[in-house]
Amino acid sequence: MLNRRAFLKTSLGTGAAVLPVSAALNALQPAAIAAGQPGGASALQLVALPSRLAPIDPASEPWQQRIRRVGQTNMTEHDPVAMNIEEWADYWHNAGAQIVFVSVTGILAFYPSKVKFHQWGKFLNGRDFFGECTAAAKKRNMRVVARMSPDLNWGDALAAHPEWAMRYKDGSVQFSAEDPRLFKTCMFSTYMDDYVPALIREVSSLYNVDCFYTNGWPPLGSLPDCHCAICSKLPPADTPTYWRAFNDRVFQLWTRYDALAKEKRPDCFFFANLGGNVRGGPNLDRLGKIAAWFQADNQGRSYGNDQVWGCSLQGRVCNAIMDGKFAANVTAAYSTGAVSWRNASKNPDEARMWMNETLAGGMVPYYHFVGAEDGLGEDRRWQKVGSDYFQWTAKHDAHLAVRRSIANIGVVFGQSTQLLYPGPAAVRSRAYMHETTQGLYDALLRGRFAFDFVHEDRLEPERLAKYRALILPNVAMLSDAQCHQIRAFVDSGGSLMASFETGLYDENLNSRAEFGLADLLGISKAGDVIGTNGNAYYARIERQHPILDGFHDTNWIPGAQNRVPLKPVQEAVLSVVPGFVRYPPELAYPPISHTDEPAVVLRELGPSRIAFFPGDVERTYWLTGHGDLLRLLGNTLRWITRDERIVDLSGEGFVEMFAWETAPGYAVHVLNYTNPDAQHGWIQTTHPIGPQVVRMKLPAGVRVKSVELLRAESSVMFNADGQILEFTIPGVEDYEVAAITIS
């Protein structure tokens, strides 16, 4: 094996700048140290990648699996008299889009429809605008998605069909907040049974489209709250029984629309608006089994304080439920956010990062702007960003098309908990689980762990076999069957980390007297949730343990904002110091300075390691950014996994890493989040980072031919010692992909 100095010289590759030795050595330190956490190269163990999947004949795959770039100009009512169709089609074709969304209807018909209440736009004047756009795209060998939006309609439809409207508790109609001429349609009404199928049939009879798409339905991230005559007979919204009825209705309509799409062409299909990441509205496990296309409508950071990794988080959700089927994420070229300018371009670096995350997360980039007046709008700055990015991806399609994620940690996302669990009584916030998810996600990124998301309804042994450990970040709702599957995972040698109210509720949100996994976790509940009034509780160090590596000169470390009190356990590592007065300072001392209540419970069962935090530590870390909580989470993740890495990425900077098996070999994606705008607003400019060292253990018999950096468009030297592959990425501006070709 080469020593560090010799390896640095060879791995930088031709033409790369050579860093000072001190900077290079710092860059080679383990990621854990770079993140301010303990750990070292001596403890880290590389585990071999799984045997490669059998090759697939591309000709045998559905046509959408070969799509690598998606374009959309969302048409406005005015476009039929202002848009140059040839110019529109040329832009997307020259950019490299293989399929385009064309508006059939939102609230308006873009063709001379004969369906009653399908209102023509006032500038249509009988023109077949949709047909002309479809023909122009087809002439350039681009496929066409017929885009519909069934969530709103006009007053004439309401007058004729008052039963189509969503209503408030007092019976009044729910209208659009932005334009009260439009009413919100109820998905349980005959509007979805009669009107929408009529549109699909008409469009299918007139045009040769490749698929149908409904925007605005199903709802994203929340459940509809309607009190019409039909919905008033359903269980209350935001309850498990309502969610089941909602899912049954979504599944019924989805399968019916798909059957209608296939009447003309068997390879045509229907798909609908999805996204919302872990908080998606419909049951994603159920839809993932039938969906041909996952439409991740996750266009940008929605609010000023959103984190930068929102798109890559969505990619992990898609990977968890689509089993390698097609998924695309929409990147808005326009200005998303709490204050929106829907016809103005957003910062180019922010738009590019969203597309970087799309690719890194295993999805297909999909670029979108609103309005296509002559010249493609008043603000044309978005055009070059999209065309340059698409043309770059076209050169590297083979390496950017993913087959399977390489990860040894599975994070269970409880979709039912995300949607239905309101948080503990002391908090009761719809943002509670969002904050929990972000806290764990941040800790995983800072530790540079390779991880997947795992849907709560996909805990079968064959799916979990690839993981060394499962993480349950306050997955409050678990059925008895899911608890049994988690026990089976641990019985087979897997490890586990869980927190707070995990398993304290069943699938119907009924509280349990005891944790559903109490026997496995080695815990017993001693009371109801205790919140914070003044000082949050502290955790007293009772004995040394690897999860406490790096803590010196202190008897206490911070606990969490909320906790479930537990009965005593033997040989506790951390005990609870109950919260006490924060102000006035004269009273800021603990009346009870020592208890036998555990602040963490650790177990070893053969090869399995188990850690349970009775506090909401992930969320508290997210709210505070406290380094002690980050260190504690990172140490615990390393302990339960025995610091086994399937891909090791070391170097300075705050990054997110994805590793994928590809047809040519493997691809390691590195997203550089070392930026003052990573947690707020938009990226103004990039802040490059230095060398990143990649190490992985290849399957037996695999030989490496080359390692190419796709963004730098250069090759790098590599060292292959037996099954261990090692190379250095000299630097990362915003994003780099190391494409490994094997023989």
Q: For residue 290, which of 243, 256, 339 has the smallest C-alpha distance?
A: 256
pLDDT for position 9: 36
- Predicted confidence at residue 305, as pLDDT, reads 62
Helix 627-640 with 617-624: angle, nearest 10 deg: 140
pLDDT above 80 for 474: yes
Tokens 């796709």 sit on residue: 710
Tell me: the pLDDT tens digits for 687-741? 999 999 999 999 999 999 999 999 999 999 999 999 999 999 999 999 999 999 9
pLDDT digits over 414-427, tens only? 999 999 999 998 88
In the block, residue with structure tokens 């059939």: 104
Residue owning tokens 């506790």 = 572
SS3 of residue 630 by DSSP: helix
Q: What is the pLDDT of residue 29?
A: 37
Closest alpha carbon to 408 in 92, 198, 657: 657
- Side chain identity at residue 617, one-letter code: V
284 contact partners, CB below 8 Å, separation of at least 6: 274, 317, 320, 321, 415, 455
- Classify 469 as helix, strand or coil: strand
Q: pLDDT band at 337, cuts 50/70/90? A: confident
| Beta-strand relationship, 143-148 and 211-214 | parallel
- 330 and 368 Cβ atoms separated by less than 8 Å: yes
Q: What is the mean pLDDT of residues 614-622?
A: 98
Encoding tokens for residue 708?
A: 């190419």
Q: What is the mean pLDDT of residues 267-289?
A: 94
Residue 3 pLDDT > 60, yes or no?
no
User: What pLDDT is recorded for position 475?
Assistant: 98
Phi-psi sector, 36: left (phi>0), alpha (psi -120 to 50), beta: left
From first CA to last CA, the distance across the chain in angstroms is: 22
- Whether 314 and 322 have beta carbons less than 8 Å apart is answered as no
Report yes or no: 75 and 48 within 8 Å, Cβ to Cβ: no
Structure tokens at 488: 């089976």
Distance between CA atoms of 116 and 202, rounded to whole angstroms? Answer: 12
Per-residue pLDDT of 356-365, as tens digits, reads: 999 999 999 9
The whole-angstrom separation of Cα 590 and Cα 599 is 16
pLDDT at 607 over 70: yes
- Give the whole-angstrom CA distance, residue 683 versus residue 346: 10
pLDDT at 247 over 70: yes
Region class of 44: left (phi > 0), else alpha (psi between -120 and 50), else beta: beta
Nearest CA to 119 among 163, 152, 83, 162? 152
Q: What confidence tier does 304 reach under pLDDT thresholds 50, 70, 90?
A: low
pLDDT band at 32 (very low <50, low <70, confident <90, very high): very low
Question: Residue 455 CA to chain centroid, in angstroms?
Answer: 12
Q: What are phi and psi of 167, to 5 degrees?
A: -135, 155
Cα gap 546→636, rounded to integer Å = 8
Token pair in block for residue 9: 């010289």
* Per-residue model confidence (pLDDT) at position 374: 73
pLDDT at 23 over 50: no
Type and span of the H or E element at 137: helix 129-139
How far from chain centre, in Å, is Cα 521? Answer: 28
Distance, in Å, from the CA atom of 503 to the CA atom of 483, rounded to the nearest integer, reads 8
Q: What mean pLDDT is reported for the chain?
A: 92
Q: Which domains does the chain have, with CATH numbers?
A: 4-56+648-742 (2.60.40), 71-150+187-225+236-403 (3.20.20.80), 407-645 (3.40.50.880)
- CA–CA distance, 642 with 154 (Å, rounded to integer): 61
Please state, for a pLDDT cut of 70, what percent of the chain lies above it. Answer: 94
Percent of the chain at pLDDT above 90? Answer: 87
Which tens digit of pLDDT belongs to each residue from 670-688? Answer: 999 999 999 888 999 999 9
What is the model's pTM? 0.93
Q: CB of 297 within 8 A of CB of 310?
A: no
Asked if 644 and 463 touch (Cβ cutoff 8 Å), the reply is no
Tell me the mean pLDDT in the region 319-324. Answer: 96
- What is the edge-to-edge ordering of all strands in the sheet holding 718-721? 647-651, 692-697, 724-729, 718-721
Axis crossing angle, helix 196-206 with helix 240-262, rounded to the nearest 10: 20
Residue range 475-532, pLDDT digits in tens: 999 999 999 999 999 999 999 999 999 999 999 999 999 999 999 999 999 999 999 9
The tens digit of pLDDT for each residue in 375-407 reads 777 899 999 999 999 999 999 999 999 999 999
Angle among Cα 118, 124, 129 to the nearest 5 degrees reads 90
Q: In whole angstroms, give the CA distance from residue 112 to residue 119.
A: 9
Tokens read off for 591: 């009346």
Tokens matching residue 59: 């000709």
Q: Nearest Cα to 494, choosing from 617, 655, 347, 604?
A: 604
Residues 536, 549: contact at Cβ < 8 Å? no
The answer to whether residue 31 scores a pLDDT higher than 80 is no
Euclidean distance between CA atoms 322 and 23, whole angstroms: 42
